[in-house]
């Protein structure tokens, strides 16, 4: 297939004229950096370096997240908030998997964390390790513990056993507690409540027994007031829709209560492919530590308990 036709098929949301301009401007090269012509025949195994603005990342490449554990089969990283695990949608962006493959070619994700969730992330160095770990994560449910900062005085403690499936929200990807849906179980333990400047937060430890999409976020919003900074759960749908269509601005942050959801994958214990068991802990990130130390620094305006509906 010709290069221009290949790019048009690979990126259907982009106009062919813009892709053609990018090729003409030398923004599509081979692995050696040689500029390519639109008429070039693209063949299996060929590497294309695309730097068309908007299609390719326009920000500097971030560093590889800190390594918490590594052996011959596994790498465990401390993923920062704001970094996706894998590129999604029509545009590429910097993501953990691309950064990791520069250091460990052939590495792959065992599981994922939401873009704005920080903490322990496991990757497998080869196919067999990936197969073993994914089977374990799906069927044996490794020991996963998260820390969340919940808005208000969160009082629920113990096992939340509430099935989760796609809901009826105008947000197509939003999950909800749905009777008859796939089982979802989370043990929640409120540790402390702190108030400053009229802002109240609860430190909550969460242990996952299943691995449903957005499970902790759904369960906490269903039983309480939601995680501070969450733009999808516990706030009106307009918050997420505005952020999706126009970006995260000051109004979105004020309504959500924080620049990102205060959820951190703190600890993970799992069986290694080589035998034995390891436990990995990711330190509480600086932003969450600062919010907890002084909740008054959070811009929690424009929110009311009715928002969670």
The catalytic site residues sit at 114
CA distance 250 to 301: 10
| Phi, psi angles (nearest 5°) of residue 232 | -115, -40
CA distance 138 to 133: 9
Query: In this structure, what DSSP letter does residue 308 have?
Result: G
CA distance 116 to 270: 23
Which contiguous run of DSSP H or E holds residue 100?
A: helix 96-103
Contact yes or no for 259/135 (Cβ under 8 A): no
Q: Is 293 helix (H, G, I), strand (E, B) or coil?
A: helix
State how beta strands 263-271 and 118-124 pair. Answer: parallel
* Residue keyed to tokens 């070619």: 105
Please give, one letter per residue, the 3-state secondary structure of 113-156. Answer: CCCCCEEEEEEECCHHHHHHHHHHHHHHCCEEEEEEEEECCCCC
Query: In this structure, what DSSP letter does residue 19 have?
Result: H
Contact yes or no for 210/174 (Cβ under 8 A): no
Query: In this structure, what DSSP letter does residue 295 have?
Result: G
Write out the DSSP string of 185-208: EEEEEEEEEEEETTEEEEEEEEEE
CA distance 256 to 232: 9
CA distance 202 to 191: 7
CA distance 221 to 261: 12
């Amino acid at each position: 297939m010709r290069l221009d036709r290949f790019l048009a098929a690979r990126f259907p949301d982009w106009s062919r004229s813009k892709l053609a301009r990018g090729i003409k401007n030398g923004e599509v090269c081979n692995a050696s950096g040689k500029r390519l012509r639109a008429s070039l025949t693209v063949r299996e195994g060929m590497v294309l370096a695309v730097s068309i603005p908007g299609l390719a990342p326009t920000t500097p490449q971030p560093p590889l997240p800190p390594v918490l554990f590594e052996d011959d089969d596994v790498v465990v990283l401390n993923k920062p908030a704001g970094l996706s695990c894998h590129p999604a949608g029509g545009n590429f962006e910097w993501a953990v998997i691309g950064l990791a493959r520069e250091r460990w070619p052939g590495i792959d994700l065992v599981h994922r964390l939401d873009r704005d969730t920080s903490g322990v992330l496991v990757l497998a160095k080869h196919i067999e390790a990936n197969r073993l770990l994914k089977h374990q994560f799906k069927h044996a449910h490794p020991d996963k513990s998260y820390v969340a900062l919940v808005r208000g005085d969160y009082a629920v403690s113990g096992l939340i056993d509430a099935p989760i499936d796609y809901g009826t929200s105008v947000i197509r990807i939003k999950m909800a507690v749905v009777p008859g849906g796939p089982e979802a179980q989370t043990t929640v333990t409120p540790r402390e409540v702190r108030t400053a400047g009229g802002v109240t937060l609860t430190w909550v430890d969460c242990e996952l027994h299943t691995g449903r999409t957005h499970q902790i976020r759904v369960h906490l919003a269903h039983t309480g007031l939601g995680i501070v900074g969450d733009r999808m759960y516990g706030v009106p749908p307009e918050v997420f829709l505005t952020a999706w269509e126009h970006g995260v601005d000051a109004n979105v942050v004020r309504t959500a209560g924080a620049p990102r959801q205060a959820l951190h994958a703190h600890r993970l214990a799992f069986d290694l492919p080589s035998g034995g068991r390891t436990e990995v802990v990711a330190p509480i990130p600086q932003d969450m530590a600062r919010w907890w130390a002084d909740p008054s620094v959070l811009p929690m305006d424009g929110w009311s308990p009715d928002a969670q509906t």
